[in-house]
Amino acid sequence: MPAPIVFYWDFTSPYAYIGANGIEAVAQKHGRGVDWRALSLGHLWKAMPDRVPFPKSKMEYMAHDWERSAQLHDLPIVKYPDPFPTDAKLPRLLFWRLKAQDQGKAIAFARAVFGQYWGAGKDIAKPEQLAGILKTQGIPEAELAAAAEDAAARQAVIDTTAEAGKLNAFGTPTFVVDGEMFWGSDRLDHIDRWLARHK
């Protein structure tokens, strides 16, 4: 069976939100699975020895671009959720805790969190802000407290962030297809065509 597409992402990235809603369809078209790996984008950037200041003009363009990109994918989006960026530590930890139990449930949870933050503009940092998602996803509330103390989940975030850094990833979404790296939700079409050429 072909190797899965590796998908590095963080809840704080609007482009990862778009990618999260598109990569599974591309993978299924080519008989591939997707290995979802949550990382800490802030820590990924901090570890870069050659990072440069982010120009204000680039940020203004990107905010317009991610709004337009979501619209082209028929996805609801709030240009600047409140707050932006947010502390996504808790939902990242719960994702990894759920993934260790049931990957499908972890992916459904991740999509719901992305939808709440980028689709509805509502924060995801605190337990009470995730309560509605837990209820609709059938996840016991106790899992949040357990995730906050889950050493394996914390280590998974650390290891995944370091792993992405070693690949020279510099943002999310980053996809790896049989060793070939693609950055950005606008590369879903490239992944599709790449897989078609390399069957």
Which tens digits make up the pLDDT trace of 67-80?
Answer: 999 999 999 999 99
The H or E element spanning position 114 is helix 103-114
Check: CB of residue 161 under 8 Å from CB of residue 44: yes
User: Which CA distances in Å does 119 have to 21, 44, 71, 194?
Assistant: 12, 24, 11, 29
Q: What is the mean pLDDT of residues 23-41?
A: 97
139 confidence band (pLDDT: 50, 70, 90): very high
Whether the model pTM is above 0.95: no
Q: Tell me the domain boundaries of the chain.
A: 5-197
The torsion of the CA quartet 135, 138, 139, 141, rounded to 10 degrees, works out to 40
Check: CB of residue 38 under 8 Å from CB of residue 44: no
pLDDT, mean over the chain: 95
Q: What is the mean pLDDT of residues 48-73?
A: 84
Tell me which residue of 105, 115, 116 sits closest to 147, measured CA to CA. 105
pLDDT at 52 (0 to 100): 60
Domain at 5-197, CATH homologous superfamily: Glutaredoxin (3.40.30.10)
